[in-house]
Amino acid sequence: MSQFPETELIITKDKRVYHINLKGEDIADNVIVVGDQFRVPQISKFFSKIEFETQHREFVTHTGLYNGKRLTVVSTGIGTDNVDIVLNELDAAVNINLETRTLNPVHRSLNIVRLGTSGALQGDIPVNGIVVSSHGLGLDGLLNFYDDWQSVSEKDISDAFIKHTGWLPNLPYPYCVKASDELISKFRQGTHIGITATAPGFYGPQGRQIRLKSAMSQLNEMLTDFRHDGHRITNFEMETSALYGLGKLLNHNCLTACVIIANRVRKEFTSDYAKSVEILIEESLQRLTS
CATH number of the domain enclosing 225 = 3.40.50.1580
Asked if the model's pLDDT at residue 192 lies above 80, the reply is yes
Backbone angles phi and psi of 157, in degrees to 5: -70, -45
Of 55, 85, 108, the position where a domain reaches its end is 108
- Percentage of the chain exceeding pLDDT 90: 88
Asked if the model's pLDDT at residue 270 lies above 90, the reply is no
Statement to judge: residues 169 and 237 lie in one domain: yes
Statement to judge: residues 163 and 244 lie in one domain: yes
Of 89, 108, 127, the position where a domain reaches its end is 108
∠ CA 195-199-202 to the nearest 5 degrees? 125
Statement to judge: residues 179 and 267 lie in one domain: yes
Q: Please state, as a whole number, how many other Cβ atoms lie within 10 Å of the Cβ of residue 252.
A: 23
Mean pLDDT of 96-100: 97
Residue 267 is predicted with a pLDDT of 87
Asked if the model's pLDDT at residue 281 lies above 80, the reply is yes
Of 84, 108, 132, the position where a domain reaches its end is 108
Statement to judge: residues 121 and 244 lie in one domain: yes
Asked if the model's pLDDT at residue 252 lies above 90, the reply is yes
Statement to judge: residues 130 and 165 lie in one domain: yes
Statement to judge: residues 147 and 93 lie in one domain: no
Domain count, the chain: 2
Residue 1 is predicted with a pLDDT of 66
Q: Are strands 268-269 and 253-263 parallel, antiparallel or unpaired?
A: antiparallel
Statement to judge: residues 68 and 128 lie in one domain: no
Statement to judge: residues 72 and 123 lie in one domain: no
Mean pLDDT of 94-104: 97
Residue 273 is predicted with a pLDDT of 82
Asked if the model's pLDDT at residue 244 lies above 70, the reply is yes
Asked if the model's pLDDT at residue 265 lies above 70, the reply is yes
Maximal C-alpha separation, the chain: 57
Statement to judge: residues 131 and 257 lie in one domain: yes
**By residue range, what is the domain housing residue 286?**
116-290
The rounded distance, in Å, linking the Cα atoms of 61 and 153 is 30
Statement to judge: residues 233 and 277 lie in one domain: yes
Cβ-contact 139, 240 below 8 angstroms: no
Question: Using one digit for the tens of pLDDT, what is the confidence trace for 122-162?
Answer: 999 999 999 999 999 999 999 999 999 999 999 999 999 99
Residue 217 is predicted with a pLDDT of 85
Statement to judge: residues 99 and 148 lie in one domain: no
Cβ-contact 142, 79 below 8 angstroms: no
Backbone angles phi and psi of 261, in degrees to 5: -100, -10
Residue 268 is predicted with a pLDDT of 86
Residue 274 is predicted with a pLDDT of 86
Instruction: Write down the mean pLDDT value for the chain.
Output: 95
Statement to judge: residues 146 and 285 lie in one domain: yes
Backbone angles phi and psi of 183, in degrees to 5: -75, -35
- Percentage of the chain exceeding pLDDT 70: 100
Residue 32 is predicted with a pLDDT of 98
Mean pLDDT of 72-90: 98
